[in-house]
Amino acid sequence: MAINTEKTGAFDARSLQQGRCPACGGLGELRIDSENITEDFEVEKQTVITQCTACNGTGMAPAR
């Protein structure tokens, strides 16, 4: 019989030995700084936050 780890709080200890994703540094998200110049020659700055495509947002290094 399988144990439901969601309710018991148990986890797989092997996941602790897994390395962090090098693309996002273990955060699971990528931050892209962007600058845009408006028609009034003003600089608009924004940060786009997106899910890391290398680790699918887990923050753990993908298995090889």
pLDDT digits (tens, 9 = 90+) for 3-52: 665 666 676 666 667 788 998 988 999 999 999 999 999 999 999 999 99
Domain boundaries in the chain? 24-57
Q: What beta strand segments (E) does the chain contain?
A: 29-37, 43-51
For the question of whether the overall pTM of this predicted structure is more than 0.85, the answer is no
Q: Outline where the chain has alpha helix (H).
A: 5-8
What pLDDT was estimated at residue 5?
Answer: 56
